[in-house]
Every structure is written in structure tokens, then in C-alpha cells.
């Protein structure tokens, strides 16, 4: 466990209020803090669940609070999956400017485009292509379920929580029961898909390609640091490590040619 994580677990177990820890960590809500560290702090659930949701949502009981925490974890994990998908998309295109196309795109777009590109990459073996296609198909299904959780109306009846939705060209309402276990299972599936994408990306595309998404941001930060419009003064290649580029998974270097020409701004 990293030092930061050890500190958080220590102070939470010492009964420091979740709100205080959340503010020190810079998390936007206490639910994010406990969504990350709750499993390391057994016994805190009953004492601090009320700290995790707004006062107006505390009337539904402990199970409803847990359901809200699980739902927040699903949203958070989808954002992490989007990060992996953007990196994979840029790597498969093989061009740093693909980061511009991928920027701001939603999960469904990233899944569809990535699947279409990998089908045309002749340097990707058939088995690897099939494996990634299956992972992306699972991502498609998980994303549809996630959209239902986020966009459908939540209702509570005698049978427990349910999702209520309408359909195109229909006046009816369609009700689907939902349980805490199903929401937790979706979080776990989203997490597994992200991990599998990261592992596939590193194994098939190679360590030196993983930082391609960060290339433009690195070049922009370098230009800013050295002064806009000024030459770097040499033409020799620079070796860019993934640490410099902000990469997470691969330490391998990238090589790019620098030019004496002023950046085109």
C-alpha cells in the first residue's frame, strides 16, 4: 500500500470524520473517499454511512445509502475505463494527433471506433484481435447497463429499488428491478474490462507505444517551459520516457525528432 493509502486507512480507523479526510485528499465528495477505502476500514460502515450522502437522501435506510455509494463507484469506474479506452484508441491509430479526435468522446464512441480500427490493423494477430473484440463487446454491454443506472428514473416499491424508463414511440413505462449486488457486479465488470484492456495494450502494442496519447501534451508543456516561439536549438533526437509523458503503465522510451523551426501556433 502506498504511504498516502496507509495514512488514510490509519486516520479513518482512528475515527477521524470522513468529511475531514475527504477535504484533505481533495476528493469532491465523502462517498468517493469511502468508495476507495471502505474495504480497508471494517466496522466503519454503520458509524459513518450517514456522512456519505446529503441530508435529504438519508431517509431510505442503510441499504439505500450503500446503493448510492455503489452507484457512485460505477460512475467513477466508467471514467477510469474511458481513460484506458482513449489511450488504446490513440495507440491503435498510431498517430499522436488522434488524441485530439478522442478527446471528449463518450464511452460508446470510444468502444465502437476502437473495435473498428483493431479489425483493420494487419499487424495485430487474429487471436489478439478476437480477444480485444470480445473485451470491447463486454464493455459495450456494461456501458449500456451503466447508462440505465445513470439515466433511468430510480423508484422504490414493495419489492425494493427499480429502474423506470420510457421507450421511443411508446407511452408506456418499463420497470426493471435492481439490487445492490447487481450494481456492485457492474462496478467489478467495468474494473475488470479496464484492467484487461490495459494488459492487452501493453502486451500487443508494446511498452514504447503506451505513452503516445501524452505526446502532444508533453510537447506543449515543453514549448511553454522553453518560451513560445523559440527554437530548441538542436536537431538531435530526444528520448521521452513515459514518466515524462505522464504515462501510467509502461516505462519504455519514445523517440521523436526535434526541429529548429518555431512551433506552429
Q: Are residues 101 and 192 in the same domain?
A: yes
Nearest to residue 133, comparing CAs of 213, 196, 75, 189? Answer: 196
Examine residue 15 and state whether it is found in any structural domain, yes or no: yes
Q: Are residues 185 and 112 in the same domain?
A: yes
The whole-angstrom separation of Cα 115 and Cα 134 is 9
Is residue 7 pLDDT above 80, yes or no? no
How many domains would you assign to the chain? Answer: 3
pLDDT at 155: 84
What residues contact 249, with CB distance under 8 A and at least 6 apart?
A: 198, 201, 202, 210, 242
pLDDT at 255: 38
Examine residue 158 and state whether it is found in any structural domain, yes or no: no
Examine residue 68 and state whether it is found in any structural domain, yes or no: yes
Q: Per residue in 222-236, pLDDT tens?
A: 888 877 555 444 444
pLDDT at 200: 93
According to DSSP, the residues that pair with 160 across neighbouring strands are 157
According to DSSP, the residues that pair with 156 across neighbouring strands are 161
The whole-angstrom separation of Cα 141 and Cα 111 is 11
Residue 9's pLDDT band (cuts 50, 70, 90): low
Residue 118's pLDDT band (cuts 50, 70, 90): very high
- 3-class SS of residue 188: helix
Mean pLDDT of 200-228: 77
Examine residue 171 and state whether it is found in any structural domain, yes or no: no
What separation in angstroms does the CA of 5 have from each of 18, 21, 26, 32, 37? Answer: 14, 11, 14, 14, 8
Q: Are residues 131 and 191 in the same domain?
A: yes
Is residue 1 pLDDT above 60, yes or no? no
Q: What DSSP designation does 236 have?
A: S
Q: Which domain holds residue 92?
A: 61-151+179-205
Q: Are residues 68 and 195 in the same domain?
A: yes
Q: Are residues 109 and 200 in the same domain?
A: yes
Examine residue 134 and state whether it is found in any structural domain, yes or no: yes
Q: Per residue in 55-86, pLDDT tens?
A: 544 455 566 777 888 888 899 899 989 989 99
The continuous run of DSSP H or E covering 155 comes out as strand 153-157
Helix residue ranges per DSSP H, 206-232? 215-226
Q: Are residues 142 and 220 in the same domain?
A: no
Higher-pLDDT residue of 51, 211:
211
pLDDT at 22: 72
Q: Are residues 110 and 187 in the same domain?
A: yes
Q: Are residues 14 and 66 in the same domain?
A: no
pLDDT at 186: 95
The whole-angstrom separation of Cα 193 and Cα 84 is 10
Residue 49's pLDDT band (cuts 50, 70, 90): low
CA end-to-end span of the chain, whole Å? 43
Place of cell 511498452: 207
Examine residue 199 and state whether it is found in any structural domain, yes or no: yes
Residue 239's pLDDT band (cuts 50, 70, 90): very low
Whether 33 and 18 have beta carbons less than 8 Å apart is answered as: yes
Nearest to residue 102, comparing CAs of 243, 94, 256, 187? Answer: 94
Residue 197's pLDDT band (cuts 50, 70, 90): very high
Examine residue 85 and state whether it is found in any structural domain, yes or no: yes
Average of per-residue pLDDT values in the chain: 75
Q: Per residue in 132-153, pLDDT tens?
A: 999 999 999 999 999 999 999 9
Number of Cβ within a 10 Å radius of residue 30:
20
pTM as predicted: 0.64
Amino acid at each position: 500500500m502506498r504511504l498516502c493509502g496507509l495514512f488514510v486507512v490509519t486516520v479513518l480507523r482512528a475515527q477521524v470524520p470522513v468529511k475531514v479526510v475527504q477535504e484533505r485528499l481533495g476528493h469532491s465528495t465523502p462517498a468517493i473517499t469511502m468508495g476507495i477505502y471502505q474495504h480497508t476500514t471494517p466496522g466503519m460502515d454503520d458509524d459513518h454511512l450517514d456522512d456519505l450522502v446529503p441530508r435529504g437522501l438519508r431517509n431510505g435506510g442503510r441499504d439505500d445509502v450503500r446503493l448510492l455509494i455503489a452507484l457512485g463507484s460505477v460512475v467513477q469506474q466508467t471514467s477510469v475505463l474511458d481513460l484506458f479506452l482513449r489511450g488504446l484508441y490513440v495507440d491503435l491509430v498510431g498517430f499522436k494527433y488522434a488524441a485530439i479526435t478522442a478527446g471528449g468522446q463518450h464511452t460508446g464512441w470510444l468502444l465502437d471506433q476502437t473495435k473498428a480500427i483493431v479489425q483493420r490493423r494487419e499487424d495485430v494477430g487474429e487471436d489478439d484481435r478476437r480477444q480485444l473484440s470480445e473485451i470491447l463487446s463486454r464493455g459495450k454491454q456494461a456501458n449500456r447497463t451503466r447508462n440505465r443506472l445513470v439515466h433511468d428514473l430510480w423508484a422504490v416499491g414493495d419489492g425494493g429499488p427499480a429502474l423506470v424508463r420510457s421507450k421511443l414511440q411508446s407511452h408506456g413505462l418499463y420497470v426493471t428491478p435492481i439490487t445492490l449486488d447487481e450494481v456492485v457486479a457492474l462496478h467489478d465488470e467495468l474494473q475488470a474490462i479496464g484492467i484487461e484492456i490495459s494488459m492487452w495494450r501493453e502486451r500487443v502494442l508494446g511498452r514504447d507505444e503506451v505513452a503516445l496519447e501524452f505526446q502532444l501534451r508533453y510537447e506543449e508543456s515543453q514549448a511553454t517551459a522553453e518560451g513560445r516561439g523559440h527554437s530548441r536549438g538542436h536537431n538531435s533526437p530526444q528520448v521521452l520516457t513515459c514518466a515524462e509523458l505522464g504515462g501510467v503503465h509502461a516505462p519504455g522510451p519514445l523517440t521523436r525528432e526535434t526541429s529548429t523551426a518555431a512551433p506552429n501556433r
